[in-house]
A and B are shown apart, each in its own frame.
Chain A
Amino acid sequence: NAGVTQTPKFQVLKTGQSMTLQCAQDMNHEYMSWYRQDPGMGLRLIHYSVGAGITDQGEVPNGYNVSRSTTEDFPLRLLSAAPSQTSVYFCATRRGVNYGYTFGSGTRLTVV
């Protein structure tokens, strides 16, 4: 039982490039979220989904897109990478509003 799988683990992008961070869960949870974690800023919500076909913006959505075509997968797309998007990205899933999250191991992204 893998839980939440994120790929890649590390990535370096040039400014302006696009890429997709992959996230897959095998827990059959409806709730999935993407967070970024920066020193001194804590965990900030980028986008979230409450089920297949339903997504919504979080606290810092600009420059990112998501889609949720299946319960299992929730990819995060960077449209045109900027140095301000250098961060550690976490995908997480939970059973419902009053449950805690299971996090993936993260993607460390550097934009140069």
Chain B
Amino acid sequence: TQLLEQSPQFLSIQEGENLTVYCNSSSVFSSLQWYRQEPGEGPVLLVTVVTGGEVKKLKRLTFQFGDARKDSSLHITAAQPGDTGLYLCAGAIYSGTYKYIFGTGTRLKVLA
């Protein structure tokens, strides 16, 4: 069974703090995505990473793909209340056929 574990599950921080969310698997991903989901809405794609060691930045968000393409991290600098939401990592694994799996999710709350 391919699992995509995220940690932490829940995170409540003050505005202005930094945070890192982790996404780990025992499987190698051909690509990995991060999404943010707000209440009552569908997940919104933030970024795609495909190369081991790749780093991408989206304003205050920094995404890193592990060298072995089995893990990823999302770092938020100076968090704001607008960053509140459910963060999901997901990716494509090839084992005969491609399978797309979602992580367990990290629920972030940023307090003003």
A→B interface (CB under 8 Å): 4, 42-43, 45, 90, 92, 97-106
User: Count the A-B residue pairs with Cβ separation under 8 angstroms: how many?
Assistant: 45
With A97-B98, A98-B50 as known contacts, state yes or no: A42 contacts B104, CB within 8 Å: yes
22 contacts between A and B (CB under 8 A): A42-B102, A42-B104, A42-B105, A43-B88, A43-B102, A45-B100, A90-B42, A92-B42, A97-B31, A98-B30, A98-B31, A98-B50, A98-B92, A99-B31, A100-B35, A100-B45, A101-B35, A101-B43, A102-B45, A105-B40, A105-B42, A106-B41
With A98-B30, A98-B92, A100-B90 as known contacts, state yes or no: A105 contacts B45, CB within 8 Å: no
B42 touches A100 (CB 8 A): no
Residues of B within 8 A of A106 (CB): 40-42
Q: Give the size range of B's interface with the partner.
A: 20 to 34
Closest to B30 in A: A98
Q: Does B25 contact A (CB under 8 A)?
A: no
**For the complex, would chain B's binding face be called helix, strand, loop or mixed by DSSP majority?**
strand
Q: Does B24 contact A (CB under 8 A)?
A: no
List CB contacts (< 8 Å) of B84-112 with chain A: 88, 90, 92, 98, 100, 102-105
With A43-B88, A105-B41, A106-B41 as known contacts, state yes or no: A100 contacts B48, CB within 8 Å: yes
Q: Does B11 contact A (CB under 8 A)?
A: no
The 9 closest A-B pairs by CB, nearest first: A103-B42, A98-B31, A100-B33, A100-B45, A97-B98, A43-B102, A90-B42, A103-B43, A97-B92
